[in-house]
Amino acid sequence: MIKVAEAIVNIFETGSALGNYSAITLIPQDSGHLTYGRSQATLGSGKLHLLVEEYCQKPGATFVRQLRPFLPRLEARDTALDHDVRLKNLLRASADNPVMRSAQDDFFGRHYWLPAASEAAATGIRSPLGIAAVYDSMVHGSWQAMRDRTISEHGTPASLGEHAWIKAYLETPRHWLATSPRPDIRLTTYRMDALLDLVRHEAWQLDMPLVVRGVEISAPTLGGDPPGCYSGPAPGSRELAVKSPLLRGADVRLLQLEVGTTALPLSADGIYGPGTTDAFRVYQKLKGMEQTGTASRDFLRGLAQAYASNSLR
């Protein structure tokens, strides 16, 4: 049940049942500012600092030396980090490391799932779908206010019946979201609509398979690799150039991380496309290299060694 509830919220947060551990989001006017990860730890709440700090303390964490200098600014909730290309690319690259994915699972479990399960039990909610609704609200940040409003207007789960109360509860934040003066908040009514759709289908036990917002939740879909994360190839195992299909992988991400710091602003998405080629040519020019747009195996091996030894910025 936990995995299905997590999958539902993952779909809301990043569009994938497994969750996008490398996701970076910045919504204009959002008090959270820069957000990162499967359940979107925010700069504004201080959770991004806590997540990165915990990750840096774990054995086997990559890019620790590069991330640690950002910790004081993350702790201070420095909103200039909203537009820091290097930090964003380091966070994306760190998600390729299973240690970061495990750190996110542990972190979001402690900060969202366990409190949600406790709140659900205290409120008298027992069904998996009901607990999932509470969990989503904990992530979204609206649980207490919407719970209290629902109880005030409709009664408690004990007096109304759990299933009827959950329906009334979901309709309460939906109205609140739909009538917000902020367009970005109004757009998030899809979360309540998707959960209300599960209520209409009486999916109280969250038995798989389910389809939420067009995304399948089943044993096969929960057993794959997370989107946006790469386990290889190792840097130096191949040269990088624009090819069809486009090359993707951890080696591309590492190159983009360096180029995005030294040459042009570049998102480290792990895809070696024309934009990466153009930026790498600028990098080659700045470094006095032949401007081929192709990264050789020797160059990539050296780059990996330099990052591992922290000899680069």
Mean pLDDT, rounded, for 20-36: 87
Of 251, 247, 258, 254, the residue nearest 283 (C-alpha):
258
CA atoms lying within 13 Å on the CB side of residue 141: 14
Mean of the per-residue pLDDT values for the chain?
92
**CA separation for the pair 61, 53 (Å, rounded):** 11
Q: Which two tokens stand for residue 51?
A: 């997540």
Assign 313 a pLDDT band (cuts: 50, 70, 90).
Answer: very low
**CA separation for the pair 289, 292 (Å, rounded):** 9
What separation, in Å, do the N-terminal and C-terminal C-alpha atoms of the chain show? 44
| pLDDT of res. 39 | 86
- Residue range 168-210, pLDDT digits in tens: 999 999 999 999 998 888 988 999 999 999 999 999 999 999 9
User: Which CATH number fits the domain 247-309, given the four candidates 1.20.120, 1.10.287, 2.60.40, 1.10.101?
Assistant: 1.10.101
Query: Is the separation of the CB atoms in 257 and 89 below 8 Å?
Result: yes
Q: Which two tokens stand for residue 301?
A: 């091996």
Burial (CB < 10 A; 0-12, 13-18, 19+), residue 116, is buried
Q: Would you identify the CATH topology of the domain 2-217?
A: Chitosanase, subunit A; domain 1 (1.20.141)
Of 255, 256, 259, the residue nearest 286 (C-alpha):
259
Query: Is the separation of the CB atoms in 258 and 303 below 8 Å?
Result: yes
User: 3-class DSSP state for residue 109?
Assistant: helix
Give CA separation, 275 vs 25, 186, 234, in Å: 21, 34, 22
**Chain Cα centroid distance, residue 27:** 14
Query: Left (φ > 0), alpha (ψ -120 to 50) or beta: where does 239 sit?
Result: beta
pLDDT tops 70 at residue 226: yes
Query: Left (φ > 0), alpha (ψ -120 to 50) or beta: where does 89 sit?
Result: alpha
* Structure-model confidence comparison of residues 12 and 262, the more confident one: 12
- Residue range 235-287, pLDDT digits in tens: 999 999 999 999 999 999 999 999 988 767 888 999 999 999 999 999 999 99
Query: How is the chain split into domains, by residue range?
Result: 2-217, 247-309
pLDDT tops 50 at residue 43: yes
Question: Which H or E element spans position 24?
Answer: strand 24-25
Query: Is the separation of the CB atoms in 67 and 94 below 8 Å?
Result: yes
Question: Which H or E element spans position 35?
Answer: strand 35-36
| Number of other CB atoms surrounding residue 57 within 10 Å | 10
Give residue 159's identity as a one-letter amino acid code: S
pLDDT tops 50 at residue 312: no
pTM passes above 0.85: no
DSSP assignments along 185-207, one per residue: HHTTHHHHHHHHHHHHTT-TT-P
Query: Is the separation of the CB atoms in 228 and 22 below 8 Å?
Result: yes
| Number of other CB atoms surrounding residue 262 within 10 Å | 16
Q: Which residue has the tokens 């909730």?
A: 77
Mean pLDDT, rounded, for 79-102: 93
